[in-house]
Amino acid sequence: MSCFADDCLPMATTTPLVVIGITLILAWLLHRLLKWKSLGWQRCDPVLPPGSLGLPLLGETLQFFSWSSSLDMSPFLKKRLQRYGPIFKTNLLGKDLIVSLDTELNNYVTQQEEKAFQIWYPESFMRIMGENNIVSASGSLHKYMRNMVLRVFGPENLRLLLLKDVHSAVSMSLASWAEKQSIELKTASANMILSVTAKWLIGYDTSASSEELWKFYDIRGLLAFPLNVPGTAFYRCVQGRKNLMKVLKQLIDGRRKNAKPLERKNFVDLVIDELKKERPVLNEEVAFNLLFALLFASFETTSSAITVILKFLTDNPKALQELTEEHEQILKQRTDPNSEITWDEYKSMKFTSCVIHESLRLANIAPVLFRKAKQDVQIKGYTIPEGWIVMICPAAVHLNPTTYNHPIVFNPWRWKDISEPVGGSNDFLAFGWGSRFCVGADFAKLQITIFLHYLTTKYRWKVVSGGNMVLSPGLAFPKGCHIEIAPKS
């Protein structure tokens, strides 16, 4: 009897797995059949772009996320561009998609926001950001939210208040980094940025506890299979969101009970004012999700930009020299070289702007933009059926050799001849384009510029370990980027 039971044991454990496997494959086949039926039988045959939908369930997800240490377009995109042309279909994270490496389709999709297309992001992203947020909002609610954000991070506040705060955060951070043997640049700059953003968003002093805010958080979970299982990046991201939401709730409850009128309102005060209205436009859930999205966006993106810019400058001494000269020239023109940076000085930093644009062009910090077709769209001989997703890859635009000569070379000087793409353009999608253009773009550029000003005029630095960047397809530094900085003598 015992011998019989032992023999059966492996079968007893493998049989349910086999049954689950077969059920999943049958469900996937049924799903495909229904989709084909809805496309092919009920309408006259749409011509979908060429391409492969890959393996059941996985699609081509693994190939898409594979690492590449080159600045060139990822092997995934390059291979399919050669095989199918600039518009092709694939399946990523369980979703059929049409990939656009085509300028005309990109233009059409981004300019048709809320008409033929609407914004869409994968389930993992929406579950982390919260279902109702600025990304999913449309029409007047979307405009209202953008205006609220611009009341804090718009040009007027940047000039009058944030310039000064960024100056203090940068000078204090650099001084404290110089006292350490080395720092990991992305983490340290994220904390520096958070000290300004958290103050203006939630009135939160990060000097004591910035790590608390992002405990457990892992950005890789944003674009992932939404499996909320311990050990996955998605799970860590969900834990990070829960943690931050707890802090936000305590803060807002505290402010509500203890609402002393402030000279200048931070974003939480605007939210509280809004929620107090008889007919508020935002409800509590939307307001919390907006705060989360803003904290996340400012924490994650600008710190990546600073890291990649320093990496490019380390590898390109000529660019570093011209940048340093631009900033030293500003000091020479001042009566007091130690005085704070002024708005006019900030606006005069032309080569710095070239360095920022060139770095963002190559690094593609937001590697993909998604939109969903609201109706069947006929373009370039193909049909994009209603409900299908188009994934725009800015890398294809940024590495187009007809627009950017020798596209994978870091060449900030090329921007001297290009007028600044204010509000984005069809050749520069680093901050998006159209009505969804990044609402924090000016704030991000201000922070990076002031950081470079203080760094190049007062400090020297060298990379002491890590610093190798990969694209997967988002920018990552697998071993970090550890730098040592010291005051200039």
Residues of this chain that interact with ligand HEM (CB under 6 A) are 119, 134-135, 146, 153, 293-294, 297-298, 301-302, 305, 360, 365-366, 369, 430-432, 436, 438-440, 443-444
Between 39 and 77, CB nearer to ligand HEM = 77
Give 173's Cβ-side CA count (13 Å radius): 28
Cβ neighbours, 10 Å, residue 284:
13
Between 39 and 354, CB nearer to ligand HEM = 354
DSSP letter assigned to residue 145 = H
**C-beta of residue 442 within 8 angstroms of C-beta of residue 158:** yes
How far, in whole angstroms, is CA 267 from its chain's centroid?
21
Dihedral of the CA atoms 110, 115, 119, 123 (nearest 10)? -140
Residue closest to 345 by CA, chosen among 457, 197, 460, 188: 457
**C-beta of residue 449 within 8 angstroms of C-beta of residue 165:** no
Q: Give the number of residues written for the chain.
A: 489
- Residues 308 and 362: their CA atoms lie apart, in Å, by 9
Residue with CB nearest ligand HEM? 440
Between 105 and 430, CB nearer to ligand HEM = 430
- Residues 454 and 128: their CA atoms lie apart, in Å, by 35
- Shortest distance, CB of residue 438 to ligand HEM, whole angstroms? 3
Between 182 and 403, CB nearer to ligand HEM = 403
Between 158 and 485, CB nearer to ligand HEM = 158
Give 142's Cβ-side CA count (13 Å radius): 14
Please indicate if the annotation marks 438 as binding a ligand: yes
Provide the 3-class DSSP secondary structure of residue 101: coil
Between 109 and 485, CB nearer to ligand HEM = 109
What would the two tokens of residue 380 be?
Answer: 């370039």
Which residues sit in the known binding site for heme? 438
Which residues sit in the known binding site? 438
